């Protein structure tokens, strides 16, 4: 939403400059945080070139992360395509902004209380709900209704990311924490990239609804995989 506002009031270059400044400030604040200053590296008790990838369960997790991240990439392309189809491309930033607002609300709601049940099962539930939230975006909605569904579709995105981090911490050995989070982030970014590429091909051929339908399917596939993992 902030990007859309900056593009409207100033220019695309101003939006990029603002993003760079926010990233720089975020890194500084992160490095000055108490948690980072108090961090201690765990001594290695195992010697393995593969690090966390030597654990089969962690490999499955990484694949699940990549799968549901595909839904993120598809959704971003779908939103941009929908805005272009209604001849209001500037609204793409607004739709993504309200989706992020829904995600922030969901993250606060999830983090404000303790939840029972295995993390993998919680993860499966969040991914299944994500698919349910993204599927309606494929409908023939007007601008207002699409904005409402965008907000609802984003609600479980932050909780899914929170659970992802907790699963990495719980699954990987402590001495492999840095490598494990690197693989987790790499899978997430790779999935988003694949989703964007796939989304571009889908909207060229079948327009925005195809991207949203594919996003819902990707989330449901990841949910099924997470559920099966929780039973192991």
Q: 20-33: per-residue pLDDT in tens?
A: 999 999 988 888 88
The whole-angstrom separation of Cα 212 and Cα 218 is 10
Q: Which two tokens stand for residue 45?
A: 């008790």
Spatial contact of 139 and 92, defined as CB atoms under 8 Å apart: no
Q: Which two tokens stand for residue 194?
A: 């694949």
The whole-angstrom separation of Cα 146 and Cα 150 is 6
Give the pTM. Answer: 0.86
Q: Which two tokens stand for residue 226?
A: 């997470």
Q: 92-127: per-residue pLDDT in tens?
A: 888 998 999 999 999 999 988 888 888 889 999 999
Distances from the Cα of 127 to the Cαs of 1, 101, 203, 221, in angstroms?
A: 24, 18, 23, 9
Distances from the Cα of 144 to the Cαs of 51, 98, 148, 208, in angstroms?
A: 48, 11, 6, 17
Give the angle 133-136-140 at the CA atoms, nearest 5°: 155
The whole-angstrom separation of Cα 54 and Cα 45 is 14
Every domain of the chain and the residues it spans: 1-36, 53-230
Distances from the Cα of 145 to the Cαs of 38, 103, 194, 206, in angstroms?
A: 47, 18, 28, 21
The whole-angstrom separation of Cα 72 and Cα 218 is 9
Instruction: Please report, in tens digits, the pLDDT of each residue of the chain (232 residues total).
Output: 677 677 777 788 888 898 899 999 998 888 888 777 766 665 666 666 777 888 889 999 999 999 999 999 999 999 999 999 999 988 888 899 899 999 999 999 998 888 888 888 999 999 999 999 999 999 999 999 999 999 999 999 999 999 999 999 888 888 888 889 999 999 999 999 999 999 999 999 999 999 999 999 999 999 999 999 888 7
Distances from the Cα of 227 to the Cαs of 125, 183, 212, 220, in angstroms?
A: 8, 21, 23, 10
Question: What percentage of residues in the chain have a pLDDT greater than 90?
Answer: 62
CATH class of the domain whose range is 53-230: mainly alpha
């Amino acid at each position: 939403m902030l990007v859309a506002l900056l593009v409207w009031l100033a220019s695309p270059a101003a939006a990029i400059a603002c993003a760079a400044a926010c990233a720089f400030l975020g890194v500084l604040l992160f490095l000055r945080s108490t948690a980072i200053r108090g961090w201690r590296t765990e001594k290695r008790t195992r010697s393995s070139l593969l690090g966390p990838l030597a654990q089969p369960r962690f490999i499955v997790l990484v694949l699940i992360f990549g799968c549901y991240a595909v839904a993120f990439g598809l959704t971003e392309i779908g939103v941009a395509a929908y805005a272009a189809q209604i001849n209001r491309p500037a609204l793409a930033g607004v739709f993504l902004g309200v989706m992020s607002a829904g995600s922030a609300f969901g993250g606060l709601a999830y983090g404000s209380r303790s939840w029972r049940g295995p993390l993998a099962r919680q993860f499966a539930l969040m991914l299944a709900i994500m698919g349910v939230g993204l599927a309606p975006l494929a409908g023939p909605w007007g601008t207002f209704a699409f904005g409402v569904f965008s907000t609802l579709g984003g609600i479980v995105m932050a909780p899914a990311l929170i659970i992802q981090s907790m699963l990495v911490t719980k699954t990987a050995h402590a001495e492999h924490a840095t490598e494990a989070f690197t693989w987790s982030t790499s899978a997430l970014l790779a999935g988003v990239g694949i989703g964007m590429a796939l989304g571009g091909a889908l909207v060229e051929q079948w327009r925005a609804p195809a991207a949203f339908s594919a996003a819902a399917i990707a989330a449901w596939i990841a949910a099924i995989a997470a559920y099966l993992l929780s039973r192991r």
